[in-house]
Amino acid sequence: MEKIVIRGGIPLKGSVTVSGSKNAALPLMCASLLSRDEMTFHKVPALRDIRTTKQLLLQLGVQLDDFTPGTLRIKAREIIDHTAPYELVKTMRASVMVLGPLMAREGRADVSLPGGCAIGARPIDQHLKGLEAMGASIELQNGYIQARANRLEGADFTFDLKTVTGTENLIMAAALAKGTTVLRNCAIEPEITELAGVINRMGGCIVGAGTDTIVIEGKDRLQGIVHEIMPDRIEAGTFIMAACITRGDITVSECEPEHLAALLEKLEEAGLKVETSERQVRVISNGRVKSRNIETNPYPGFATDFQAQYMALMALGDSDCYITENVFENRYMHVQELVRMGARIRVSGRVAKVQGVKELSGAHVQATDLRASASLILAGLSAKGVTEIHRVYHLDRGYEHLEEKLANLGADVRREKDDML
């Protein structure tokens, strides 16, 4: 195992380029199953979740070719297996996104139920209800969802709640279904709009992505295209908060400022100077951050994927504030680790009260999930002394070349072999 060692207290300065989005790339890789032709993706980030998805696609019989870094070619001429096995789904829930395309193209899929994960129970009942509405029969056998259909048929389906991968799964299912599907109460995250745009360029017919009602006219076949993955808004926001917590001055380039609106608005309230231009955000932090409440909500609200990093920032706030996690019921695994670094945080149900302290101190801490790990990195960058973050494999799921990028901004950060765990 490996650990990340940070000597904190250095203000970040300079510029950083955002990588391609993990949460856009994963559904797009699954959408390759919808066509027998070759799909080419550029700006595919080098991340563990991407490698897991490649493994899954290979197992289904798909041809993969990634000889140049960042470019991935996927050709699903034949599909020889229909199973997303437990070993892969347990390491990455997003594996359930093969369910929609497999059902659309093959009329069968065996996908392991994800079970609990570090950030809550996260059921997939909405994905399954939607497929049933489209004519699929769903059974549970030995921990696997067995979905079957002759050909999926268009349906009018209303989600009980906003779900990102649920919306993506049903868009992909409907893209090759017979007739027209109307999906209501859809999530409207930018990654969903990206997926719909790609399927449209493949020859699909999807209207309304980015609003809560999406209409999909199913096609008999879709063709291969070349596509560049959109920038990772969560990575961009994480760097912005890293600049804020270290009282730095950085420019985040090749990002989409519009996708960061809720975060930037809150950080400006907290005292950060923000300058946006096309595909670029400069942030300048001079003094102690002001404590400001947030509550997480589906897009365009304040993203749950920023909650942990924002909490690290508020741990150093000038007074008290409340953070409310509305999207996941158990996404406070980072709290105890931040407390070990001197933060004063008390959680009661969905609400965390954060009492700002003047400084955090370096400590040994343990990463528990991807964004929790990012919050510990931020805390470490600002803390007095040395912080050692163990179990960093969580970080490698979602942040490409993180230490290199931080080091380029002046941080004292390195990765080392971990003998402790």
Binding residues for phosphoenolpyruvate: 22-23
Q: Can you read off the two tokens belonging to residue 6? A: 């940070």
Closest to ligand EPU by CB, 187 or 345: 187
Which listed residue (30, 117, 244, 321) is catalytic? 117
Residues 261-280 that bind ligand EPU (CB under 6 A): none
Contact with ligand EPU (CB under 6 A) among 95, 238, 304, 375: 304
- Least Cβ distance, residue 72 to ligand EPU (angstroms): 17
Element (H, E) at 366: strand 364-366
Place of tokens 């090759």: 176
Contact with ligand EPU (CB under 6 A) among 232, 305, 337, 388: 305
Give the torsion sign (CA, 155, 82, 43, 257). positive
Give the neighbor-by-neighbor strand order of the sheet with 320-324: 294-295, 320-324, 351-355, 344-348
User: Are β-strands 273-277 and 72-75 bridged in parallel, bridged antiparallel, or unpaired?
Assistant: unpaired
255 is catalytic: no
Asked if residue 123 binds ligand EPU (CB under 6 A), the reply is yes
Q: Quick check: helix, strand or coil at residue 205? A: strand
- Where does residue 331 rank: exposed (0-12), middle (13-18), buried (19+ CB within 10 A)? buried
x/- letters, 38..77, toward ligand EPU (CB under 6 A): ----------------------------------------
Look up residue 280 and give its DSSP letter. Answer: E
Asked if residue 350 binds ligand EPU (CB under 6 A), the reply is no
CA triple 331-400-43, angle to 5 deg: 115
Distance CA 393, CA 373 (A): 9
Counting residues that bind ligand EPU (by CB under 6 A) gives 24
Residues 311-340 that bind ligand EPU (CB under 6 A): 327-328
- Least Cβ distance, residue 285 to ligand EPU (angstroms): 24
Residue 249 and residue 283 in contact, taking contact as beta carbons nearer than 8 Å: yes
Asked if residue 210 binds ligand EPU (CB under 6 A), the reply is no
Residues 96-115 that bind ligand EPU (CB under 6 A): none
Closest to ligand EPU by CB, 103 or 164: 164
Cβ neighbours of 404 (radius 10 Å): 11
Residues that bind ligand EPU in the complex, under the rule CB under 6 A: 23, 26, 93-94, 120, 122-127, 161, 163-166, 187, 304-305, 327-328, 370-371, 398
